[in-house]
Amino acid sequence: MTKLSVNINKIATLRNSRGGNTPNVVQFAKDVQRFGAQGVTVHPRPDERHIRYQDTRDLKSEVYTEFNVEGNPVKSFMDLVLEVKPTQVTLVPDAVDALTSNAGWDTIKNKAFLTEVITEFKSHGIRTSIFVDPVLEMIEGAKIIGADRVELYTESFAHQYSLGNEKAIKPFTKAAELSNELGIGVNAGHDLSLDNIKFFKENIPGLLEVSIGHALISESLYLGIENVVQMYLQRLK
């Protein structure tokens, strides 16, 4: 079975745009779990433009499914993760000024640094996952540094699939097969959506977890908007 972890960054983006506490990210996390999500993902960035470090602390006691915290392991992020002790930490090599995550780790070049970081998290009982492009050398590198899982960076698949190029799945299938052989768990994320998730799942052996945010929240707006407009119209009669 593949677990769905809902990334709630976008809920924080909406909240921050007004300065109050609507929508409430903790309540949202509680609700998605009530609706069946098997995990909650946050990706606090150092500029706290969406999820804040304090949100991550507040969520700890309310996430009773899998809590996945993603980010670049700078000191402040490491301290936060060691304090909160989520189920899983996903290491992402994102630059502070990046609009969103845009590349996986080079697990070979960063071997010493990543080994140290992963060893530290694992010694505190936190499962580790490393965000990588679907490149076999990077999967081998993930094994060497001791990561429990890889998170396959799916932006290239999502983009190509939306253009009708189903062959774009191939490197992802191969990366998953190698991960399975090496005993590394396989997660995936970035731009996965209702349009592409079924095809992706069917072609990725041993897919343990997907984290989905941007599309899932956008789709929720579209799928909910008719109902809400009707509810306003009722009250305005």
Ligand X SMILES: NCC(=O)COP(=O)(O)O
Question: Which positions touch ligand X (CB under 6 A)?
Answer: 7, 41, 70, 151, 189-192, 211-215
Neighbours of 217 (CB within 10 A): 18
Confirm if 6 and 32 have CB atoms less than 8 A apart: yes
Question: Considering the rule CB under 6 A, would residue 187 count as an interface residue with ligand DXP?
Answer: no
Q: Which is nearer to ligand DXP, 65 or 105 (CB)?
A: 105
CA distances from 74 to 92, 96, 142, 209 (A): 11, 10, 19, 25
Q: Is 18 annotated as a binding residue?
A: yes
Is 213 marked within a binding site?
Answer: yes
Q: Which of 47, 48, 45 is nearest to 69 (CA)?
A: 45
Closer CB to ligand X, 141 or 189, in the complex: 189
In the window 98-137, what residues touch ligand DXP (CB under 6 A)? 100-101, 131
Do 67 and 4 form a contact (C-beta atoms < 8 A)? Answer: no
Task: Provide CB contacts within 8 A for 230, sequence distance 6+.
Answer: none
Question: Residue 26 or residue 216: which is nearer to ligand X going by CB?
Answer: 216
In the list ligand X, ligand DXP, none, the entry touching 215 (Cβ below 5 to 8 angstroms by class) is: ligand X
Would the annotation count 7 as a binding residue? yes
Smallest gap from Cβ 99 to ligand X, in A, equals 11
The site that binds ligand DXP (CB under 6 A) totals a number of residues, namely: 12
15 is an annotated ligand-binding site residue: no
**Smallest separation (angstroms) from ligand X to the CB of 9:** 7
* CA gap 93, 148 in Å, rounded: 17
